[in-house]
Amino acid sequence: MNATTSAIKTPFRPLAALRAVQALRTNPDDTRQIFMIFQALGGRSSARMFARFRNSLNGQRFLSEERSLLKVLTDRNSLAELPAGSVGRAYLAFMESENLSAEGLVEASEGRAENAPPQEQLFLARMRDAHDLTHILTGYGRDPLGELCLLAFMNRHTRNPGQLLIIAMSWLQVPKSARPAIREAYRNGAKARWLVDQDYEALLARPLNEVRSDLGIRPPLLYESMQS
């Protein structure tokens, strides 16, 4: 990697993370700051994750095929033709109800991997594009508690310290009655299969409940109890 800069091995930049935290407090909807925190505090977490991904059978296949999850997730007509109750239909309903687009995450993370080697770019793009799918698979919504629970769940898969920082800075703002849901999410994440190298394209047509069972994703009972 002589001529390119790796986006995987990032220096630890606490001051940049602090600035991003302050900006996020000013505007909680500024998703760019979340990516900045992840990158500033990621250290070797992404490098370790990429190494594991590259050494897995699925990861090797995705890299060799130069898979683009984004192309699949932006084809809403194809998603709408999937069976009722499938992962893909649930994803489409989620994106429409929340007025989201897969392209929105691309804009929020713009510049993150532009100088990285091609395989690293593909890996980081796949991680980015899978974010809203993980909402569907884990059962956590986009409300503040749901986002924190998803961060806690996924931290067991990514090991990014930036996720823990966001949880920590939000902890005192979360009602005490809701905090057990975050701890439950962390435990559920530890019990699930590694989500980073999953064949999401193949999962889209399958029943959501079946996929959750196969991946060992337990119901977010405490989170759901807070939604009623």
- Which percentage of the chain shows pLDDT scores above 90? 57
pLDDT at position 3 is: 39
Is residue 2 a part of any domain in this protein?
A: no
pLDDT at position 140 is: 97
- What distance in Å separates the CA atoms of residue 50 and residue 46, rounded to the nearest whole number? 6
Mean local confidence (pLDDT), 138-142: 95
Is residue 4 a part of any domain in this protein?
A: no
pLDDT at position 181 is: 98
Select from 152, 162, 154, 155 the least CA-distant residue to 182: 152
Mean local confidence (pLDDT), 180-207: 98
- pLDDT tens track for 96-125: 999 989 887 777 656 555 667 899 999 989
Domains held by the chain: number: 1
Is residue 59 a part of any domain in this protein?
A: yes
pTM of the model: 0.86
**Is the confidence at residue 4, as pLDDT, over 50?**
no
Is residue 5 a part of any domain in this protein?
A: no
Domain extent for 192: 14-227
Q: Are 47 and 9 in contact (CB under 8 A)?
A: yes
CA angle 95, 68, 198 (to 5 degrees): 80
Residue whose pair of structure tokens reads 């001529």 in the numeric block: 3
CA angle 211, 212, 216 (to 5 degrees): 115
Is residue 30 a part of any domain in this protein?
A: yes
Determine the 3-state secondary structure of 37 from DSSP.
helix
Is residue 177 a part of any domain in this protein?
A: yes
Is residue 70 a part of any domain in this protein?
A: yes
Give me the phi and psi of 143, to 5 degrees please. -65, 160
- What distance in Å separates the CA atoms of residue 141 and residue 228, rounded to the nearest whole number? 13
Is residue 6 a part of any domain in this protein?
A: no
